[in-house]
Structure 1
Amino acid sequence: MITFVVIRILLIFYLMNEFFTNHTENIYILIGVTIICVFLFIALNKVSKRIEKKAIEKGYSDFANLNLINKIIKIGIVLFYLFMVAYLLADQSEFNIIAINIKKTSYLTLVFIITSVGYTVSNTLFNRIIKRKDNPTTVKFLKYVAAFIIIVIGIAFAAMAFPSLKSIASTALGGAGIIAAIIGLASQEALANIIGGFFIIMFKPFQIYDTIKISNEMVGTVMDITLRHTIIKDYNNKMIVVPNAIINKEKIANYNLGDKKYCQYIELSISYDSDVDLAKKIIQEDCEKHPSNIDNRTKVDKLNNVPKVRVRVISLEDSHVAIRAWVWTSEFGLAFDMKCDLLESIKKRFDKEGIEIPFPYRTIITKNMNTIPVQNESIN
C-alpha cells in the first residue's frame, strides 16, 4: 500500500516536472499576468473610492453608474485572466479558437465600458444643466433622448461582434412583407408615444411642475416627461404614469399656462324662508376677508363700484335657493383650502343669523286599521 502511494507521488512529481519544463515560458508569463490583474483590481478599488470621496464633497450621492462601470471593468479583468490561462496552458491546436474568443470578449467588454461611460457622462452633464434651470422640461427630455441613442449605438456595436447576426438578418428579410407588418404593429404604440413626447416638448401644452387637469377627472403636478410617458403626481401623493400617445388625445386644463389667477366657485343653498339679502351679505363679507382672496376687478369695475366678490342667486330649485360667489385666488393651489375655510366660516355665520341650509324632510303618515280576526280552517 505504501509502495503504491509513493509511486503515485513520484508520478505526479514527474508529470508536474514535465509540465513545467514544457511550459516554463508560459508559466512565467502567467505569473506576470496574475500580478498585473491583481494590481489592476487594487488600483481600480482605490480609484473608485477616491472618485466617490470627491463626488460626496461636491454633493453627489448617486453612485449607481459608477458602481456599474466598476463591476464591468472587474468582469473584463477576470475574463481576460481566464482566457490568458487557457491560451497559455492549452494545446496549440486550440490557440486559434481561444484567440478568437479573447478578441470577442475583449471587444464586448470595451463596448460595454465605453457605453456605460458615455451614458454616465451624458447623465451627469444633463443633471448639472437641470439644476441650473427653473423649468427643466426640454433638458430632461433631451437627457432621455441622449441616453436612448447611446444605448442603441452600444447595442449596435456589440452586435457587430457576431457575424452570424448578419446572415440571420438577411434570412429574416426574405419574408420582408410579413416581418414589416409584424414590426409595424408591434412598434406602433411605442412610436406613437415617442412622437407624442416630441410634440409635447415642441408645442409645450404643459411643462414640468405645471398643474394640469386631464379629462375633468385627474388633477396633479407634472413631475417628468420621458420618451414613452408623462409622470403626474396627484394630490394623494401618488405617481400616475400616462403614455404620451394617450395624453396627447385628451383635453388638458393647464393652470400654469397664461394667467395663473383662478376663480373658485363658492356655492351654498338656503331655504325659501331664509333672508336672501342677509345670506348674500354674509357670503360676500367672509369671502372678502379671506387672506387668499385677491382683487380681480378692472379699473372700470372699481369706478363703477363693482364689489370685490360678486354674489348672485343662480337658481331656484324645488327645495332651496342656490347662491354662488365668485372668489379669485393668485393660483390654483390655494383655491381648495380657501373653499374649505369659507364653507366652514359661512356655515357658522348662517347658524348665528338663523339662516337655514335646507336638508331633506320626510313626512311619515301612519293609519290605525281595525284588525280582522282570521279563522284557521283545517282541511281534512
Structure 2
Amino acid sequence: MVEFIANYKSLLIYVTLVILSVFILRFLTKFFIKWLIKKETNRLSDAPVRSMKMVKMTLNLLWLVLGVIALSAVFVDRDKDKLLVGYFKTASYIGIVTVVTIITATLCNLWFKHRIDQKITDDFDPTTYKFLRYVSVFVICFIGLLFGLMAFPSLKSVAQTALGGAGVLALIAGVASQEALSNLVGGLFIVLFKPFKIGDVIKITDTMVGTVTDITLRHTVIRNFENKMIVIPNAVINKEKLINYDLGELKCCEHVELGITYDSNIELAKKILQEECENHPLIYDNRTELEKKDGLPIVKTALTKFNDSSITIRAWAWSSSFGHSFTLKCDVYESAKKRFDEEGVGLAFPTRTIYMANANNPENK
C-alpha cells in the first residue's frame, strides 16, 4: 500500500484536488445562490427565484461535468490529452453561455415587468410592453442557443450565418411551422394596429366574450365573465370579426326585449318597459339637446316583431359601459316582470291549438 501511494502520489494528489475542487465549487454555488435569493427576496417581492435556481442547477452540472473530464485524464493515454482539453473548453463554453443567457433573459424580463407595472400605475396601456417582453426574452434565448451551437464544429457555420443578420429570419422561417409564423405575425399586427389592447372587453362569438388579459407571441388570452381563461391563437383572432366594447366611445345601447301575448295592452306594456328602464340608476341619457327640448323620452320603445304566439316589444336602453348595460338589462327584466304581473300584461310562452277533425263523430270514439 505504501509502495502504491509512493508510485501514484502525484495522481492521487491530482484526483483529490479535482474532487475537492468540485465539492468546493458546488458548495460556493449553493451558498452564493441562497444568499442572492434571500437578498433579492427582501428587496423585491417578485424576485426571480426560479431563474436563480436554474443558474444554480446549470453551474452544479457544469462543475460535475468538468470534474469528470478532468478525472478522465487519469485513465486515458497522453495522446488523448488534447481531446480532453477540447471537451473541457466546450463544456465550459456551453455552461457560461447558458448562465449568461439565463441571467440576461431574467434581467430583461424584470425590466419589462417593472415598466409594465409603472404603466399600469400611471393608467397607461401596457400592451406594447407586454408583447415586447415576450419578443425580447425569445430573441435573447434564441441568440444564446446560436452561440451554444457555435461550440460544435458541424453547426458552427449555421450559427455564424444566422448571427450574421438576415440569416436569423431565414433560420426561423426554415425551422418554424407556417402556423407558428402566422401567430407571430398576427401578434405583431395586434400590437401595431391595436384593434384591442389589454384590459379591453371584446366579443368574438357569443361564447367568447371577456376581458383581454395577455397578448403573447402565439396567442391572446381572454378572461370571460365566468372567470375562465380563453386562449385564442393570434392567427385565428386576426381573421375573426370582433366587437371591442372599449374602442372609441364606451357608452352602449342595450336592446331590452320582451314577448307579450296578443291580447295584452301594447301601449301599457311599452310604457311599463320604458319606465322601468328610465328609473334604473345605470341608465344613460343619450338624447341630444334638441331631443331634450322636444321632450322625447330617454328610452325609446316600439313593437318590433309579430311572432307565432307573441308580440315583441323592444326598449333601446343606453348605459355608460358594456358592463353596466348587462346589469341594467338583467334588472329591468326582473322589475318589468313584476310590473307586468301587477298591471295584467301577459308575458307570452309557446302555445299550440289543436283542432280535432270530426271530433263529434261516434265512429271516432
- Offset, 1:42: 2.5
- 3-state SS, counterpart of residue 133 of structure 1: helix
**2:94 pairs with 75, 89, 108, which one?**
108
CA distance in 2, matches of 1:129, 1:185: 32
- 3-state SS, counterpart of residue 222 of structure 1: strand
Work out whether 1:76 is the aligned partner of 2:66.
no
Q: Is the 8 A contact 1:219 1:234 kept in 2?
A: yes
Q: Is the 8 A contact 1:329 1:335 kept in 2?
A: yes
Q: State which structure, 1 or 2, has the greater radius of gyration over its C-alpha atoms.
A: 1
- Offset, 1:348: 1.1
Number of the residue aligned with 1:152: 142
**2:36 pairs with 51, 60, 81, which one?**
51
Give the residue type in structure 2 aligned to 1:294. Y
- 3-state SS, counterpart of residue 177 of structure 2: helix
**1:220 pairs with 196, 207, 210, which one?**
210
Give the residue type in structure 2 aligned to 1:113. V
Q: How does 1:364-379 map to 2 (within 5 A)?
A: 364-365=354-355, 367=359, 370=362
- Offset, 1:260: 0.8
Change (3 A) 1:121 1:95: same
Q: Is the 8 A contact 2:18 2:71 kept in 1?
A: no
Give the residue type in structure 2 aligned to 1:72. T
CA distance in 2, matches of 1:167, 1:288: 74
Number of the residue aligned with 2:104: 118
Q: TM-score, normalised by structure 2?
A: 0.86
Give the residue type in structure 2 aligned to 1:325. A
- Offset, 1:302: 1.4
Work out whether 1:338 is the aligned partner of 2:328.
yes
CA distance in 2, matches of 1:361, 1:84: 90
CA distance in 1, matches of 2:280, 2:38: 52
- Offset, 1:224: 1.1
Q: TM-score, normalised by structure 1?
A: 0.83
Change (3 A) 1:75 1:19: same
Give the residue type in structure 1 aligned to 2:106. T
- Offset, 1:225: 1.0
CA distance in 2, matches of 1:318, 1:239: 39
Q: How does 1:309-320 map to 2 (within 5 A)?
A: 309-320=299-310
**2:13 pairs with 20, 28, 33, which one?**
28
Superimposed CA distance per residue, residues 133-172 of structure 1 (whole angstroms, 9 cap, x where no aligned partner): 1221000111111111111111111111111235899xxx
CA distance in 1, matches of 2:30, 2:326: 54
Give the residue type in structure 1 aligned to 2:7. E
CA distance in 2, matches of 1:115, 1:167: 21
CA distance in 1, matches of 2:66, 2:190: 47
Q: How does 1:9-24 map to 2 (within 5 A)?
A: 14-20=3-9, 24=10
Q: Is the 8 A contact 1:215 1:250 kept in 2?
A: no
Q: Name structure 1 gaps, 5 residues minimum.
A: 1-11, 170-179, 373-380
Superimposed CA distance per residue, residues 186-218 of structure 1 (whole angstroms, 9 cap, x where no aligned partner): 632222221111111111111011111115552
Work out whether 1:238 is the aligned partner of 2:224.
no
CA distance in 2, matches of 1:210, 1:168: 43
Work out whether 1:322 is the aligned partner of 2:312.
yes
Number of the residue aligned with 2:183: 193
Superimposed CA distance per residue, residues 54-74 of structure 1 (whole angstroms, 9 cap, x where no aligned partner): 333221265211111111011
Number of the residue aligned with 1:131: 117
Number of the residue aligned with 1:267: 257
Give the residue type in structure 2 aligned to 1:269. G
Superimposed CA distance per residue, residues 342-369 of structure 1 (whole angstroms, 9 cap, x where no aligned partner): 1111111101111011223333456366
Q: Is the 8 A contact 2:286 2:318 kept in 1?
A: yes
CA distance in 1, matches of 2:176, 2:20: 51
Change (3 A) 1:153 1:167: closer
Change (3 A) 1:185 1:93: closer
Change (3 A) 1:167 1:210: closer
Number of the residue aligned with 1:177: none
Number of the residue aligned with 1:300: 290
Q: Is the 8 A contact 2:214 2:222 kept in 1?
A: yes
- 3-state SS, counterpart of residue 209 of structure 2: strand
CA distance in 2, matches of 1:122, 1:151: 11
Work out whether 1:87 is the aligned partner of 2:77.
no
Question: C-alpha root-mean-square deviation of aligned residues, in Å?
Answer: 2.5
Q: Is the 8 A contact 1:194 1:228 kept in 2?
A: yes
- 3-state SS, counterpart of residue 337 of structure 2: helix
CA distance in 2, matches of 1:130, 1:65: 20
Give the residue type in structure 1 aligned to 2:141. I
CA distance in 2, matches of 1:97, 1:47: 33
Change (3 A) 1:85 1:166: closer
Give the residue type in structure 2 aligned to 1:60. D
Number of the residue aligned with 2:24: 39
Number of the residue aligned with 1:5: none
Work out whether 1:254 is the aligned partner of 2:234.
no
